[in-house]
Structure 1
């Protein structure tokens, strides 16, 4: 797997605990798929690399991949260019009914508050501790990728930007919890339309956020992130009302 791909998966892939190896490995690879860290049609890391990063046997990993294949989330291809590939996600159907079904499974307010705490904390940590040259390049690259992104790819690239910030905070625990809560938020966002005006506003906030982080202004970084999270929460509440 190339270095950029490794960076994208760093916030999610981590060694699992021995007692729940299968379940935790399944959870992590599901997060990779749900968060769009590997795009539709993209290939997951090779089995050997996945097994090493998760610290599970390849037998256990193949059981995990079999479950994902049975659920129609990935497909296995043989040959020189084979591997395990993410299948195109079906668009949510059912409109408001689908949204209601999804929100019935989660405490929306708790999810949004927890997301804000993690995001604001990550932004403040990145600004306060500072980033090295490689980390600055990663953050700027993630921001640049969201600019002029097609609507069909915007949410995935937006997610990658936020995950990058969480991972650069220096706290693996924060990054792991953020990946989980972001997956839940994305399930809700997938049920509402992408609004161009909202995306333009989000991009202005993204730029201000990254600049505050790179300037080492922790207070400004936290405040911009707080406003950004509040905007997403307001949008969701508007559609849920």
Structure 2
């Protein structure tokens, strides 16, 4: 098959699509990002202890020095606190600070004052692609009894959550759906977009009617997955995401 003259002249894809800086520049930034995701998405709850240093360094595939530097930054920013003694270790603070910090040029965590409109749009589009695709695939999977029970438990936890705990349990449910797909590459992508979505949601009020509506949509999503109905699961997730998007556009413009 020969290339078309127009394609050769103008190029179907620009090299600039990929020849650009990566999201994280070094192991320290990547480690801070993963720890922040683990904390802010509720995989380690407020008041709970992080894994031991040696174990955590192995899990993250970084040196213990890099891990210590990352934990020191999170400690300074108020996300974790060290405790000494027999039952000591590094613990997630309770409550977890609001907002999603970024690593600045000096390697320090700082809060962003605002999110550019272009980034908001990118986040909303990416979330729709990732999460609708993930839930469709999850509904096609043969789930074990344990995984089915995990889904029900995540749904129950979300429905019973107090308002101040709602986003943490909401995030856990969405991450679990991604995990059930069985693609190791998918979970970090969903975690990343979920962090971006939560950063936007933190800037708008969490209203009781919206929680009730969200819980009803969560139930529809989970039931469609468990019944093995991919189209219904994708439709329910798309409706759920559209509701969040409408709220964000209404409040953030």
Correspondence list, 1:35-184, <5 A: 35-87=41-93, 88-91=95-98, 101-104=113-116, 107-184=119-196
Which residue, 246, 250, 253 being the options, matches 1:234? 246
CA contact (8 A) 2:78 2:97 kept: no
SS in 2 for 1:75: strand
**How does the TM-score come out when normalised to structure 2?**
0.80
Please tell me the root mean square deviation across aligned C-alpha atoms, in Å: 1.8
- 1:106 is displaced (CA, Å) by 6.0
CA contact (8 A) 1:112 1:233 kept: yes
Gaps of at least 5 residues in structure 2 are 1-24, 100-111
SS in 2 for 1:172: coil
Distance of 1:34 and 1:146 partners within structure 2: 15
1:130-170 CA-to-partner distances (Å, cap 9, x unmatched) read 21112111111111111221111111101100011011111
SS in 2 for 1:84: strand
1:77-101 CA-to-partner distances (Å, cap 9, x unmatched) read 1111111112233456xxxxxxx93
The one of the two structures with greater contact order (alpha-carbon pairs below 8 A, sep at least 6) is 1
Gaps of at least 5 residues in structure 1 are 1-18, 93-99
Distance of 1:120 and 1:91 partners within structure 2: 27
Aligned position for 1:205 = 217
Provide the aligned length of Structure 1 versus Structure 2: 216
Q: Which runs of 4+ in 1 moved over 6 A?
A: none
From the two aligned structures, give the one with the greater helix fraction. Answer: 1
